[in-house]
Amino acid sequence: MSSELKVDTISEKTSAAGVTVDGVLIKDGLVDGKDVSTLGGVGILQAQSFGPIGGSGNQLERTAASYADVPNHTIAITPQVATSKIFVIMSVHTWGTDCSGSLKIVENSSGSYATVHETKMISGSDKGGMQHSLQGLIDHDTTSAFTIKLQGYSNADNSSNRFRITWYDATSTGHAFEIGGI
């Protein structure tokens, strides 16, 4: 036997006591004492990406031992919920023509750029082209737009030691997912 109750409003029997449904207390806009209106979304709230991209306008040849932005390897995102997290993953092709190099993902949700993930000493001159995966989780605490980008670095600091990113016919991709409720 099954029963069904259809009503528009459930009111408290005892003033200020709330209503208990299956062991869960609903009282004064709270569920078991928690304000559920501030939890935001749960799951993937949005996705932003670049790529697949390749070709001359999307390449970086680095000969200096300092980081530089890789052209167009950038994701702009505006979080919907300040307490969500951003999971970022990039698949990047490199070519260590004369030396190895390094890659890092950076983000500026706090106003200045911070490293999300860095990988060093990749694609030496004896390796040729290689595909790399970088990923990280960003705890941003904002609903303002911010930028996630890829940077490259040559591990040898002179003009004849080249480390190349998204070179020849290679392509790279990047994805950022806003995840709520974690």
**Residue-level pLDDT at 12:** 81
**Among the listed residues 69, 47, 48, the one whose alpha carbon sits nearest the alpha carbon of residue 59:** 69
Task: Give me the domains of the chain, ranges plus CATH numbers.
Answer: 43-180 (2.60.120.760)
pLDDT of residue 115: 97
Is the preceding peptide bond at 52 cis, omega within 30 degrees of 0? yes
Contact 145, 137 (CB under 8 A): no
For 94-139, the pLDDT digits (tens) are 988 888 899 999 999 999 999 999 999 888 777 778 999 999 999 9
Work out whether strand 60-62 and strand 172-180 pair parallel, antiparallel, or are unpaired: unpaired
pLDDT in tens, 52-63: 999 999 999 999
Q: CA Rg, the chain, in Å?
A: 25
Q: Kindly give, in sequence order, each residue whose CB lies less than 8 Å from that of residue 26, ignoring residues fewer than 6 positions away.
A: 18, 19, 20
0.85 cut: is pTM over it? no
pLDDT tens per residue across span 76-98: 999 999 999 999 999 999 988 88
Lowest mean pLDDT segment, chosen from 85-99, 117-131, 140-154, 166-180:
117-131
Q: Determine the pLDDT at residue 36.
A: 64
CA distance 54 to 73: 10
Q: What is the pLDDT of residue 38?
A: 58
Phi, then psi, of 113 in degrees rounded to 5: -75, 135
> How many other CB atoms sit within 10 Å of the CB of residue 165?
27
Question: What is the edge-to-edge ordering of all strands in the sheet holding 101-107?
Answer: 68-77, 146-154, 101-107, 114-122
Q: What is the rounded distance in angstroms from the CA atom of residue 9 to the CA atom of residue 12?
A: 10
Over residues 144-163, mean pLDDT? 91
Over the stretch 7-28, which tens digit does the pLDDT of each residue have?
Answer: 777 778 888 888 887 777 888 7
Amino acid letter, residue 36 = V
State CA 125 to chain mean position distance. 31
